[in-house]
Amino acid sequence: DPGFEARLKRADALRTADAAGFAQALDELDRTAGAATAAQKTKLRLLHVYPLILRGDYATAIRELQAVMAAAGSVDTQYRAGAMLANTYAITRQFERGLKTLNVILPLSGEVTDTDTRHHGYAAAGILYNQVGEFGLGLDHANRILAETPSRRNRCIAGNLKLESMQGLGEAPDEASLQAAITQCRSVGEPILVGFSRTYLARSLFAEGKVAKAIDTLERDLQEVEATGYPRLIGDYHALLAEYRLARGDASAAERHAEAAIAHSATLDSAQSLVSAYRTLYEIADRNGDLRTALQRYRQFSVADKAYFNDVKSREMAYQVVRHQSLQQEQQIALLNQQNALLQLQQRVQQQSVQNSRLGMLMLFLVVAFVVLWAVRTKRVQMSLRRMAETDALTGASNRHHFTRQSEATLAQSAAAGEDAALIMFDLDHFKAINDQYGHAAGDWVLRKVVETCRPVCRQVDCFGRLGGEEFAVLLAGHNLRSALRLADDCRVWIAGIDTTESGHRFRVTASFGITTTRISGYDLTRLLSHADRALYRAKRGGRNQVVAFEEFAPLAPPIDRPPAGEPATEDPEAAETRPSDFPSRGDLTGRAGGA
Ligand SMILES: Nc1nc2c(ncn2[C@@H]2O[C@H](COP(=O)(O)OP(=O)(O)OP(=O)(O)O)[C@@H](O)[C@H]2O)c(=O)[nH]1
């Protein structure tokens, strides 16, 4: 409700100028508060505190202000309630509570949007600080208000506060600024503050030795001051007048004023005016030689002075207590912050160590992976080196050395198991002619093709080796002569069927085969090779492209020129046919002739 807000503002403005109008405005606001927002209701509640303070119902005022501070929807309302609360605590001389309230609101000063409200807070702070003897802080807050182009009323309040602070600090204000403060406060209708300004001016004049002027300054406004009914101010006035009158030698006027000061200060627990008035009365009695009265006055002076001294000290103490408490609080906060930082550090260390252990695991994994990889690669290299060492690079068949070792192992196993094994040896026919006619590359192609063609006769357990040049051998475990003959003949047929177009030439490839078995030749490889080689020799002599088995009962062949199996043949096979032969005739052999 914008209307409600406007009426709240209007009521607030009436507060100092028109007490009756203010009361009426509050009544009207109460009647229409049903439609107000929570924040507006809180503001209204705050306005209701002013009449409570005027009435002197401080206990209710304090309760209400505390409630408003707790419920305030805006910083401004909370701040204003806090400033009023600090003021009320100052009036009721609860300095510690007042200072604590300041500690709550002053840090919010920067967030307060309304300048008047902020100045109200600074003024409350300045008044309280001066009361607890912290005049430096009082002056600082007065200057804060004056630096921010305050309203005329706040300028009066701040000007007064400044004079009070300077007096407390023992600094003498110049007459011009004293007059300015008086004019300022008079223009806004603040007779109490005008009165206090006049006491500062009078003190300043008296200190300069201008006693008559000081008296004149005070007496001019005396009636107006008495009309305020403010005991502390009236007491001050009379006490000062008593002191100054006596200084001028007017003892009877001095006595009158001193008595008036005492009468007005009677309701106060302690006051500087009481001390001053009793001292003046003592001095008068002393000057009169009335020792009894002098002693009595001195005793009264002494009691008032002690009370005042205690009061000042207890106020100063209140400040020290609150300061100590807030320091302690700050230290606790700092300690908590440190503990927090420590916890955060510990957390980070923990995270770091988790990260480190993860990193460690990763490193370990990498090392293991590397070792495994290295082992696999080493194994592969070993295997490929072994393959290179064991196989013939051109054809991929086992080389002679490996074939020998493999075969010897297989034969030993067969012998142990009492199983048969057969050895087939074969040699390409007229290979030299292929080389000569079609080139070495064509010859290589033939060798590879022959191995590729014959490999199917071998199982995993069998050994297929290139004994040298164009001579090959196959050791077949578990085969007897019959099955070996069949396999050898299959091989012969396959070789004879090779289509050489792929090599770039068309020619015919055939091979001659010699066979023996363990039943015929025993389990010794050298003997088996020798017997197979002899059968092969017979196949060549028999016209090539045929399979011949060694005849176990045939007498050993006579020495021939042919080189041992595997070495390149140097002999002309045609010439060999002229050699005397001890071999059985072709018909005696168990082999079969085929092909060309
Ligand atoms: N292209 C090629 N030729 C080879 C290789 N090893 C040996 N030779 C050749 O093979 C030929 C073997 O010839 P010979 O021992 O006379 O036998 P042949 O010509 O097959 O005659 P017969 O065995 O009597 O049928 C030689 O010319 C060798 O140079 C090889 O790895 N590649």
The residue length of the chain stands at 596
Asked if the model's pLDDT at residue 586 lies above 50, the reply is no
For the Cβ of 431 lying below 6 angstroms from any atom of ligand 1, the answer is yes
CA-nearest of 152, 88, 27, 184 to 80 is 88
Shortest-distance atom of ligand 1 to CA 447: 32
What's the mean per-residue pLDDT of the chain? Answer: 88
The pLDDT tens digits of the residues spanning 202-229 come to: 999 999 999 999 999 999 989 999 998 8
Q: What is the ipTM of this complex?
A: 0.96
The predicted pLDDT at position 1 comes to 62
Q: Any idea which of 30-39, 263-272, 313-322 has the lowest mean pLDDT?
A: 263-272
Within 13 Å and on the Cβ side, how many CA atoms surround 209?
0
Shortest-distance atom of ligand 1 to CA 568: 15
For the Cβ of 471 lying below 6 angstroms from any atom of ligand 1, the answer is no
Asked if the model's pLDDT at residue 48 lies above 60, the reply is yes
Residue 410: pLDDT band (50, 70, 90) is very high
**Ligand 1 center from residue 434 Cα (angstroms):** 8
The pLDDT tens digits of the residues spanning 83-127 come to: 999 999 998 989 999 999 999 999 999 999 999 999 999 999 999
The better pLDDT of the pair 493, 181 is held by 493
The pLDDT tens digits of the residues spanning 487-504 come to: 999 999 999 999 999 999
DSSP state, residue 1: -
The predicted pLDDT at position 372 comes to 96
For the Cβ of 432 lying below 6 angstroms from any atom of ligand 1, the answer is yes
The predicted pLDDT at position 454 comes to 92
Q: Whose CA is nearest to atom 14 of ligand 1?
A: 569
CA distance 543 to 430: 11
Is pTM beyond 0.95 here?
no
Strands 471-477, 547-549: pairing kind: unpaired
**Ligand 1 center from residue 460 Cα (angstroms):** 29
How is 181-217 classified by DSSP, letter by letter? HHHHHHHTT-HHHHHHHHHHHHHHHHHTT-HHHHHHH
CA distance 590 to 541: 16
The pLDDT tens digits of the residues spanning 237-276 come to: 999 999 999 999 999 999 999 999 999 988 877 789 999 9
The pLDDT tens digits of the residues spanning 520-549 come to: 999 999 999 999 999 999 999 999 999 999
